[in-house]
Amino acid sequence: MADLTRSGYLASAISIAWTSGQALDSAVDDEYTDLSDEIDNSTNKYLMADIEVVLASAAFTGTDSAIEIFLVPSVDGTNYPNWTGNGTTAEQENLNYFVGMVITSGATEAQRMVLRSVELPNGKYKLAFRNRGGVALAASGNSASLRPHSVAA
């Protein structure tokens, strides 16, 4: 029986983009982003990815200060389940897609955080985020990306 180990990164970082709608830039406290542009994993079938969030400088409180990350899959490759973005009220339908959060420091400075080993679906999906930083995010300089990895025999 072969021993399984983690593979190295299998691709360059994939930038998370929004063609339209609310992205990370200018997201107010508690605001959900809209869904990102679609990412297609149906050919590569990567098992996992590390998701990196980079935030421009803001006065993060450090108390319960985080960015929540959501992954919304398309089971049939075309349609996506309900998602409510660009708002600050708690949206129950969004909670099904929560995959983790990255914690900000309590400093007024740029932040770089990574959520490790998020399981990826074998098809198409979109990502979304919720600003729980206690402050509005900067109008520019905020980004997210992912690096896929897997296991090797």
| 10 in any annotated domain | no
Spatial separation of the C-alpha atoms in residues 64 and 115, rounded to whole Å: 17
Find the CATH number of the domain harbouring 48.
2.60.120
| 139 in any annotated domain | yes
| 55 in any annotated domain | yes
Spatial separation of the C-alpha atoms in residues 85 and 22, rounded to whole Å: 7
Count other C-beta atoms under 10 Å from residue 10's C-beta: 15
For 1-142, list the strands marked E by DSSP.
Answer: 5-6, 14-15, 39-40, 48-59, 66-73, 98-103, 108-119, 124-132
| 1 in any annotated domain | no
pLDDT in tens, the chain (153 residues): 667 777 778 888 999 999 999 999 999 999 999 999 999 999 999 999 999 999 998 888 777 899 999 999 999 999 999 999 999 988 888 999 999 999 998 788 899 999 999 999 999 999 999 999 889 999 999 999 999 998 776
Spatial separation of the C-alpha atoms in residues 2 and 129, rounded to whole Å: 38
